[in-house]
Structure 1
Amino acid sequence: MFIAHISDFHVFADAPETSLVRPDAEAAARKVVADIVAANPPFDAVCFTGDLVDGGSEADYALLKDILAPIKVPIFLVPGNHDRRDTLRAAFRERLDFAAGTTLHYEAAIGHVRILALDTLVEGQIAGALDAGQLAWLEERLAKVTQGPTLLLMHHPAFPSGIRGLDDMALIEGREALGRLVKAYPGTLRILTGHIHRPFHAIWNGAYCAVGGSPAFQHQLDLDPTAPEPGSVAEPYAYFIHRLDAAGTLTVHTRYLAL
């Protein structure tokens, strides 16, 4: 099974909210989608970890749906801090079985892989959070034994990148409680996130974790703990290809695109 992990398109119909977003974000996103569609072997699914658009308007999501239309396999997505719950739900309610209530969490499956999607959005804030209800929802599902791995999708990473200025605006509330849950299920979870605009991997509480890059802009790598939030850097966009075989082996490849 082949699964693509993409993130942070930040596309916009009129004007971007974020100053760093490239003016041709739509064209960059279409190049990424074209690359995914042309993949051989073909992908079985695409996981999209938030900041789908840059403003959250109906027009933004109409544009996003047009950009993603060539992808015929299942797409699983979660909101980021630039998304809006009401317009996102309306745009994708026919493709995703969102749980009842305010937050956009859901459970799905592709083959033997379970998908658990967590909504870390705090409206009007850059940093993310998980409340007690969301954590209880996750714990209930993790307690159910499955034959295959579980992909946990969320926008804000709970694990550190080492880039201080970005980690300070990642998942803040609920981080410790999530860590305890993850640690209780070693070897079964793969956590896919976005938000940092810099692709990297981590092992956190025994789980493999990944942050996808962003075709809208990518942050500079600065691991100096005293440095402020880094600026952007011109480099190829990177998304991840997850290969899962029948024996349960996970192989992750990095796909680079010059945009």
Structure 2
Amino acid sequence: MLIAHISDFHVFADAPETALVRADAADAARKVVADIAAHQPPIDAVLFTGDLTDGGSSADYALLCDILKPLPMPIFVVPGNHDKRCGMRAAFGETIPFEPGPALNYAAQIGDLRILALDTLVNGEIHGAVDPVQVDWLAGKLSQPHAGPTIIAMHHPPFPSGITKLDEMALQDGQKALSRLIAAYDGQLLILAGHIHRPFQAIWQGAFCQVGGGPSFQHALDLRPHAPEPGSIAEPYAYFVLRLTGQESLTNHKRYVSL
């Protein structure tokens, strides 16, 4: 099974909300989508880890849906801090089994892969959170017998990048409870996230973790303790292609796209 992991398109119909977002963000997103659509062998599913749009307007989501139209495979999305829940429900409610209630959590299955999506959006804030109800929901799902791998998809990473200022904007409330839950899980677990605008991988509480880069802009790497927030940097963009063979192996490839 091949899974494309993309994140942080930040597309906008009128004007960007974020200063660092490139003016041609929609064109960059279309190039990524075209590459996924043309991939051989075909990609089985796409996981999009948040900040689909930059402002969350209905026009933004209409543009996003037009950009994603060439993709014939299932697309699984989670909201980022620049998204709007109502817009996402309207855009994806017919294809994604969102749970009832305000949060856009859901569980889905493709082949032997289980996908558990967590909504970490905090209205009006950059950082993310999960509340006790969400942690209990996730614990209940993880407790159900499952023979294949499980992906937890979320926008704000609960694991550190080592970039101080960006980690301060990541998952805050609920991070410790989620950490304990992940550490206690006995199974093949992957956590895919976004938000940092810099691709990296980590092992955290025994789980394989990954942040997808953003074609809208990428942050520079600065691992100095207490360094200021890094600005954007011009470097090659790549999305990830995960090759899953049941519980036997995981291979993770970078797929470069010229933007």
Distance 1:247 1:132, change over 3 A: closer
The aligned residue for residue 173 of structure 1 is 173
Q: How many residues align?
A: 259
CA distance in 1, matches of 2:255, 2:4: 10
Q: Once the 2 structures are TM-superposed, how far is the Cα of residue 145 of structure 1 from its aligned partner?
A: 1.3
SS in 1 for 2:138: helix
In the alignment, structure 1 segments of 5+ residues that lack a partner are: none
The aligned residue for residue 27 of structure 2 is 27
Q: Deviations over 1:120-166 (max 9, x none)?
A: 00010000000011111000000001010001000000000000010
The aligned residue for residue 96 of structure 1 is 96
CA distance in 2, matches of 1:186, 1:85: 32
Q: Which amino acid aligns with 2:97?
A: D
SS in 2 for 1:86: helix
CA distance in 1, matches of 2:41, 2:62: 29
- Asked if structure 2 preserves the Cα contact closer than 8 Å seen for 1:186 and 1:206, the reply is no
Q: Which amino acid aligns with 2:86?
A: D
The aligned residue for residue 201 of structure 1 is 201
- Asked if structure 2 preserves the Cα contact closer than 8 Å seen for 1:190 and 1:208, the reply is yes
Q: Which amino acid aligns with 1:208?
A: F
Distance 1:91 1:234, change over 3 A: same
Give the aligned CA root-mean-square deviation in angstroms.
Answer: 0.8
The runs of at least 4 consecutive aligned structure 1 residues that moved more than 6 Å come to: none
Q: Once the 2 structures are TM-superposed, how far is the Cα of residue 226 of structure 1 from its aligned partner?
A: 2.1
Q: Once the 2 structures are TM-superposed, how far is the Cα of residue 208 of structure 1 from its aligned partner?
A: 0.2
Distance 1:5 1:11, change over 3 A: same
- Asked if structure 1 preserves the Cα contact closer than 8 Å seen for 2:148 and 2:246, the reply is no
Q: Which amino acid aligns with 1:134?
A: Q
Q: Which amino acid aligns with 1:156?
A: H
SS in 2 for 1:36: helix
CA distance in 1, matches of 2:246, 2:188: 15
SS in 1 for 2:242: strand
SS in 1 for 2:13: coil
Q: Once the 2 structures are TM-superposed, how far is the Cα of residue 255 of structure 1 from its aligned partner?
A: 1.1
Q: Once the 2 structures are TM-superposed, how far is the Cα of residue 114 of structure 1 from its aligned partner?
A: 0.3
Q: Once the 2 structures are TM-superposed, how far is the Cα of residue 187 of structure 1 from its aligned partner?
A: 4.0
SS in 1 for 2:36: helix
SS in 2 for 1:108: strand
What TM-score do the two structures reach when normalised by structure 1?
Answer: 0.99
SS in 2 for 1:32: helix
What TM-score do the two structures reach when normalised by structure 2?
Answer: 0.99
Q: Which amino acid aligns with 2:242?
A: H
The aligned residue for residue 191 of structure 1 is 191
Pairing 1:135–2:141 present: no
CA distance in 1, matches of 2:63, 2:125: 24
Q: Once the 2 structures are TM-superposed, how far is the Cα of residue 247 of structure 1 from its aligned partner?
A: 5.0
The aligned residue for residue 4 of structure 2 is 4
Q: Which amino acid aligns with 1:224?
A: R
CA distance in 2, matches of 1:13, 1:215: 16
